[in-house]
Structure 1
Amino acid sequence: MTVINSSEARTAARVSSTSPRTNRAKSSRLRGRLPGIMLIVAAAIFSIVPLISMLTAALAPQGSIPQGLSWPADPQWHNFIDAWNVANITVLLQSSILIVLGVVPISLLISTMAAYAIAVLRIPLGRIFFLLLLLTLTLPYEITIVPLYQQVRELGLLDSQLGLILPLIGLNMPFAVFWMNAHFVTTPAELTEASSIDGASAWKSFLHIHLPLAKPAISSLGLLMFLSTWNTFLLALVLINDPNKRTMAGALQAFQSKYSTDIVLLNAGALLLMAPTIIVFLLLQKQFSAALLQGAVKG
């Protein structure tokens, strides 16, 4: 005959009495999270379905008109190779990489230093300069095309990658400074005060304290700049006459003629164009999420 002492009996009674409460709490939390889960699933469906539609269209026989999401009976995987060759993507890929390497690092450096000077060092007239930058964000992008064309022509940089890199750096500055300023204003002022007490200059404080803390914000900003630069089409079309010196977004023109459009190769080329951006985003998604959540947590 098994003997149960009083302590074991009380423990068993406590477990049996609290288990329904625990189950009800879990179910209530699940019900509270259900709308968010449904929203995420809906967003994923709206994002993935167009990609699947493009993939099925890209695998259809050339010259045909794809219909809906029907998977082709004989997938034509060579369409991607044909699209690569028809659009001369190898040359455009090299040009896009050159433009991205010329725009993103320089823009990150200038915007980070400018935001540090405005938010941390509080330079004279810094807030006025920051407000002027914010006002430029309200201007339509298209309104800058004609003035930029005139300036680049006067500089003798038309039809060159440098003539596209310099305007893109300038166009990135307002949003980039705004993004980095949002990071630096959340950095505790005690860090700067402690470094100055220890004898560190503003430059050393920037390099050894603020810059390491700003890595998530810099990484996410670099991702956004990469996406905008990689997908630049209108400005490249206006400033560069040679199609081989433009970005990869210009490759889609190769599948359109005056009287017809090759829908199959157009979808294949669009997927090739999107592949680098998807890969870069997957590599930097943690830094991007950390930067977005940084302002929600008190330091």
Structure 2
Amino acid sequence: MIVNRTELVVGRILLIAVVLLTLLPFASMLTAALQSPDRIPNGFAWPTDPHWENFVTAFQLGNIATLMLSSIFIVIVVVPVALLFATLAGYALGNLRIPGGRAVLIGMVIGLTIPFEAIIIPLYYQFTSYGLINTQWAIILPLIGLYMPFSVFWMRAHFIGVPRELSEAARVDGANIWQEFRRIQLPLASPALSALAILLFLWTWNQFLLPLVMVSDPSKRTMAGALGAFQGQYIDTLPLLFAASLIVMLPTVAVYLVFQRQFIKALLQGAVKG
């Protein structure tokens, strides 16, 4: 397809505009975070005397160091387990075409339509009866279950697009299901797995409502829970709130920047298959 010069220029202008619109809120938050703690930020203006110490103060007041360790623990449990279950289920539904797969698929569709807020209260009473309330497992186990419908759909969409000739050739060569899955299907699924891992990390790291309801100990919540420290005593110190928000957002931005190639590759792979 030939792209003329006008289309190329217009496309670049649109991309620049989108980038500026995306970065503008971050720049606005940064300028607000550098204001004096006793001042209410007003407008988009770089302060004459930037208060970089606001980030240190916000880090200490929000107990971010402890919450970072808690978030890391929750992430390293939730993401691998969710990926494992979603990959196995997606492979079974997309490649093996197991009996009852359509019913499972319908159940996943129903799971996608249920609002998270509608089940959080039943989850609270259920985990209270299990004796897991106010523990990090009250966050980990529900998140794994809540991620399953989307994750299984994501992986099924990949496996259903893999040519069946590859599976048939592997069976002819004497490979069983697990050998085919490990040696052929998993390497081909690496872009989809990478993109899904990024999404699960972002959703888990930024989870706020579930930890707020299920865990009363602030030190066992996620990084997003650090912002709760500024809702009471420090509600008037908006620069510190903006500084804490930037600190909480930093890991997610860093992860996306590092793995953006894999994420875009998975999206393009799905577009080509479609």
TM-score over 0.5 for the pair: yes
Match of 2:223 in 1: 248
Match of 1:17 in 2: none
Residue 147 of structure 2, aligned match among 158, 167, 172:
172
The answer as to 2:164 corresponding to 1:189 is: yes
253-262 or 197-206, which moves further after superposition? 253-262
Structure-1-length-normalised TM-score: 0.88
**Counterparts in 2 of 1:215-226, with a 5 A limit?**
215-226=190-201
Residue 50 of structure 1, aligned match among 9, 13, 25:
25
Match of 1:273 in 2: 248
Are 1:256 and 1:262, in contact at CA under 8 Å, matched by a contact in 2?
no
Cα deviation, residue 68, structure 1? 1.5
The answer as to 2:60 corresponding to 1:90 is: no
Q: What secondary structure sits across from 2:187 in the alignment?
A: helix
**Counterparts in 2 of 1:50-89, with a 5 A limit?**
50-89=25-64
Structure-2 separation of matches of 1:82 and 1:123: 56
Residue 231 of structure 1, aligned match among 206, 227, 232:
206
Q: Deviations over 1:34-89 (max 9, x none)?
A: 44333322221221000000000111111111122210111111110010001110
Match of 2:79 in 1: 104
Structure-2-length-normalised TM-score: 0.96
Cα deviation, residue 298, structure 1? 5.2
Unaligned residue ranges in structure 2 (runs of 5+)? none
**Counterparts in 2 of 1:24-35, with a 5 A limit?**
29-35=4-10
Structure-2 separation of matches of 1:34 and 1:131: 46
Match of 1:10 in 2: none
Structure-1 separation of matches of 2:226 and 2:54: 15
Residue 117 of structure 1, aligned match among 80, 86, 92:
92
Cα deviation, residue 289, structure 1? 0.3
Q: What secondary structure sits across from 2:193 in the alignment?
A: helix
66-75 or 37-46, which moves further after superposition? 37-46
Structure-1 separation of matches of 2:235 and 2:13: 41
Structure-2 separation of matches of 1:88 and 1:243: 9
The answer as to 2:206 corresponding to 1:210 is: no
Match of 2:118 in 1: 143
Q: What secondary structure sits across from 1:295 in the alignment?
A: helix
Match of 2:104 in 1: 129
CA change 1:51–1:198 in 2 (3 A) is: same
Structure-2 separation of matches of 1:87 and 1:259: 10
- Ranked by relative contact order (alpha carbons within 8 Å, sequence separation 6 or more), the top structure is 2
Match of 1:163 in 2: 138
CA change 1:250–1:64 in 2 (3 A) is: same
Cα deviation, residue 191, structure 1? 0.5
Cα deviation, residue 258, structure 1? 6.5
Structure-2 separation of matches of 1:35 and 1:182: 34
Structure-2 separation of matches of 1:78 and 1:260: 18
Structure-2 separation of matches of 1:34 and 1:150: 58
28-37 or 104-113, which moves further after superposition? 28-37
Q: What secondary structure sits across from 1:137 in the alignment?
A: helix
Identity of aligned residues (%): 51
Aligned length: 274
Are 1:108 and 1:222, in contact at CA under 8 Å, matched by a contact in 2?
yes
Q: Deviations over 1:139-186 (max 9, x none)?
A: 111101012112111111000001110000000000000111111111
